[in-house]
A and B are shown apart, each in its own frame.
Chain A
């Protein structure tokens, strides 16, 4: 027999960004297009979709949680450290670390859609990317800082 659930279109869960927290707290998976540049080269402004499952466990270093700041802003940044009460997160394209209470974390990214490509966090290529990115982080941060210094020196010499 046909399961009659499929006739009830209300059972399709459509939701927009404002209900991400509600959906995840209710234990349902969500998907959202990503915005911003802080997670490049993994996530691109309005070109990638992140599929997120509700958080039911402690996050590990390297995982990609979604959390909500008190101003309501949702952030997807990578966990780079954990202590008993906090997660330390940083965007793949950022240099600064953010310390967030564990209670802010709502879910964890399990898949990323970029064009027709599906990237699962269990894929070997993705795990290699995470390990590689972690490995080059000190070099990347040094590069950004040197570049920033050069730019500010150029600006100050141009304004003299």
Chain B
């Protein structure tokens, strides 16, 4: 899975956010304000990846038990999927 073309993960004035542009404009007219972890997951999704790979990367970066990270990452990715921002 990967973010669709036109879904831009960026930092505007120090605020991590996701904005849709170009072909993806119809998916989200607005923006997603991310915190550090939300931004981390979105950045992982900029290239082809899997949920397991995301969890592995998060384990290297964040200090939390695998099961907690796996459950939360699954929930987060499900929300992104529900918005139609993923190509699978």
Contacts and interface: CB of A to CB of B under 8 A. Distances in A.
Contacts, number: 94
Interface in A109-132: 110-111, 113-116, 118
Give the interface size class of chain B: 20 to 34
B53 interface: no
B19 A49 contact: yes
User: A interface, how many residues as a size bin?
Assistant: 20 to 34
A7 B21 CA distance: 26
A17 B25 CA distance: 13
Nearest to B63: A1
Contact of B31 (A3, A5, A30, A46): A30
Smallest CB-CB A-B distances: 10 pairs: A6-B37, A113-B21, A31-B31, A115-B22, A2-B64, A13-B33, A6-B38, A31-B19, A15-B30, A5-B35
Interface of B: 6, 8, 10, 12-13, 15, 17, 19-22, 25, 28-38, 62-64, 68-69, 72, 75-76, 79
5 contacts: A12-B79, A31-B17, A48-B21, A116-B6, A116-B21
